[in-house]
Amino acid sequence: MSGNEDVFEYEVNGDILVVIPVRDFMSIRDADLRDAYNETYRRLTTEDLKHLVFDFEQLNYFGSTFVGIMIRLAKKTNGNGGTTVLCNLSDEIRSILKQLMLLENDKTASFWKRAQTREIAIEWLQTEFESAG
């Protein structure tokens, strides 16, 4: 597997960066995952992007490295005054996040919000922060 295969696809909607994991995380080399993280962090730092949406529509499983990436990117987004939203969570993904105490846990509730779909997440962020921006 070559290192230039995309780990994430990106969409930009106003000041919202949508990150779509597109590969099975069991097949991704750590270096490729680090590169994907660095690219996402760079976008949040250098482009005029405030909010982050993780769209899990194409993902059924991920490991601890990805969890760390999600947390670091959410902290970066929150530190910039933005919000991170997770959407299209399958039952399996939701179960993994609950087991890791990253969903429905008061201590980690500040990391991110949840939305059913990408469209709902984007609409909520645009509406919620419209008057603040």
Return the pLDDT at 5: 60
Average of per-residue pLDDT values in the chain: 87
**Cα 55 from Cα 116, distance rounded (Å):** 10
Return the pLDDT at 3: 45
Higher pLDDT, 64 or 95: 95
- Measured at the CA of 46, the angle between CA 41 and CA 49, to 5 degrees, comes to 80
Return the pLDDT at 1: 36
At 42-81, the pLDDT tens digits run: 999 988 999 999 999 988 778 778 888 999 999 999 998 9
**Cα 12 from Cα 20, distance rounded (Å):** 11
What letter represents residue 16's amino acid?
A: I
Q: How is the chain split into domains, by residue range?
A: 8-121
Cβ count within 10 A of residue 108: 15
What letter represents residue 131's amino acid?
A: S
Is 33:63 a contact under the CB 8 Å cutoff?
no
- The whole-model pTM stands at 0.89
Is 77:40 a contact under the CB 8 Å cutoff?
no
Token pair belonging to 104? 């429905």
Q: Domain 8-121 in CATH: superfamily?
A: STAS domain (3.30.750.24)
Cβ count within 10 A of residue 109: 11
Q: What percent of the chain has pLDDT over 90?
A: 54
DSSP state of 27: G
Asked if pLDDT for residue 110 goes beyond 50, the answer is yes
At 30-42, the pLDDT tens digits run: 888 889 999 999 9
**Cα 12 from Cα 15, distance rounded (Å):** 7
Asked if pLDDT for residue 131 goes beyond 80, the answer is no
